């Protein structure tokens, strides 16, 4: 039985009440990305009693994450935990009544529909527009409501997409902006006060959708936490929107990419050409002759003179210190022959 004393103050809020709390308990939310926004969303929804959470993230914790990613602590960094795993461990300690699943993977056209299947709401905790366009395609196709959020420096925005009823992200931006024209948090920075506010607004939208109480925000909310400016603009559904009107899902139907360059961090990610499942313990033994090796149930961290590699069980490799794709491929083939 759920402990209603835990949620008593929340249930005294008239739009939620006992009936709304029960709807939260029966809710299933998928959080895609568990950085500053995603970890805030996970914390808010877990504490609020949302019954089932699936946390999806591709990345490993770094010390620079701790200033703004609220579920994590130094010990998680020392253990080299994936963000999804560390977030799930922490929220289970906060609320043992709920079901929490962690998935360590990069969202892609090949897996996103499976990842969001059955979700009542999808929450965006990603950090790039290409991933958000993919989420938009998948959610519009699946008919799943989703809550977009973004944060950079002191400026943030959020929008709730209700497929079939409201505008979608491609009604706002038809095409993906030129990556060279976009700054990242690694370049422009970001305030933890901003990510706290944006993730709280996103969480609030999820709670409204799960309980059926209140009106979700189908417009584009922009805010600047430094100047305290807030602006909400009306977005209209476009009759020629590629996604929600024409049902053309360009990002969902795109072929998977083999390598992705993460700007500003001298970092590459290589994805395997075919599905694999690496024996991390055996691989760690063979790699010790090459460099410093640390590993856990989820990944191997290999430190070499020229680069650092995070090698995941599914064959993904994140390489820190190289920006040339061919050099990275040669290095990975040398270290992990199974990926050659």
CA-based nearest residue to 123, from 102, 153, 144: 144
Q: Is residue 279 part of a domain?
A: yes
Whether 85 and 40 have beta carbons less than 8 Å apart is answered as no
Per-residue pLDDT tens listing for the chain (340 residues):
456 899 999 999 999 999 999 999 999 999 999 999 999 999 999 999 999 999 999 999 999 999 999 999 999 999 999 999 999 999 999 999 999 999 999 999 999 999 999 999 999 999 999 999 999 999 999 999 999 999 999 999 999 999 999 999 999 998 887 665 566 666 678 999 999 999 999 999 999 999 999 999 999 999 999 999 999 999 999 999 999 999 999 999 998 776 666 655 678 889 888 889 999 999 999 999 999 999 999 999 999 999 999 999 999 999 999 888 899 999 999 999 998 7
Are 265 and 221 within one domain? no
Determine the structural domain holding residue 296 and report its residue range.
Answer: 259-339
Are 275 and 201 within one domain? no
Are 122 and 171 within one domain? yes
Are 192 and 263 within one domain? no
Bridge-partner residues for 223, per DSSP?
156, 230
DSSP state of 250: T
Q: Within a 10 A sphere around the Cβ of 82, how many other Cβ atoms?
A: 27
Report the half-sphere exposure of 37 (CA within 13 A, side-chain side).
28
With a threshold of 0.75, does the pTM exceed it?
Answer: yes
Are 282 and 197 within one domain? no
The CATH number of residue 226's host domain is 3.40.50.720
- CA 69 from chain centre, in angstroms, equals 12
3-state SS, residue 115: helix
Q: Is residue 242 part of a domain?
A: no
The Cα 31–Cα 41 span in angstroms is 8
Q: Is residue 252 part of a domain?
A: no
Q: How many domains does the chain have?
A: 2
């Amino acid at each position: 039985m759920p402990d209603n004393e835990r949620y008593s103050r929340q249930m005294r809020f008239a739009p939620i009440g006992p009936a709304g709390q029960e709807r939260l308990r029966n809710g299933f939310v998928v959080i895609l990305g568990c950085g500053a926004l995603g970890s805030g969303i996970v914390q808010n929804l877990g504490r609020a009693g949302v019954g089932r959470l699936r946390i999806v993230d591709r990345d490993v914790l770094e010390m620079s994450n701790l200033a703004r990613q609220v579920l994590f602590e130094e010990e998680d960094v020392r253990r080299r935990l994936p963000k999804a795993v560390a977030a799930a461990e922490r929220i289970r300690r906060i609320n043992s009544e709920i079901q929490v699943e962690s998935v360590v993977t990069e969202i892609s056209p090949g897996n996103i529909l499976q990842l969001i299947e059955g979700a009542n709401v999808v929450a965006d905790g990603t950090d790039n527009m290409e991933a958000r366009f993919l989420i938009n395609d998948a959610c519009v196709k699946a008919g799943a409501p989703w809550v977009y959020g973004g944060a950079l420096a002191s400026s943030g925005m959020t929008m709730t997409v209700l497929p079939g009823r409201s505008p979608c992200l491609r009604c706002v931006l038809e095409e993906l902006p030129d990556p060279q024209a976009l700054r990242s948090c690694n370049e422009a920075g970001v305030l933890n006060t901003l990510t706290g506010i944006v993730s709280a607004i996103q969480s609030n939208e999820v709670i409204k959708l799960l309980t059926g109480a209140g009106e979700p925000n189908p417009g584009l909310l922009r805010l600047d936490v430094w100047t305290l400016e807030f602006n909400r603009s009306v977005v209209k559904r476009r009759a020629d929107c590629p996604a929600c009107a024409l049902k053309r899902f360009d990002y969902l139907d795109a072929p998977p990419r083999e390598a992705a360059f993460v700007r500003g961090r001298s970092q590459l990610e290589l994805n395997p050409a075919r599905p694999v499942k690496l024996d991390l313990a055996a691989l760690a033994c063979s790699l010790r002759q090459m460099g410093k090796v640390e590993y856990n149930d989820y990944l191997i961290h290999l430190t070499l003179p020229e680069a650092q590699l995070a090698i995941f069980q599914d064959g993904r490799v994140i390489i820190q210190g190289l920006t040339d794709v061919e050099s990275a491929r040669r290095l990975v083939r040398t270290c992990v022959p199974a990926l050659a």
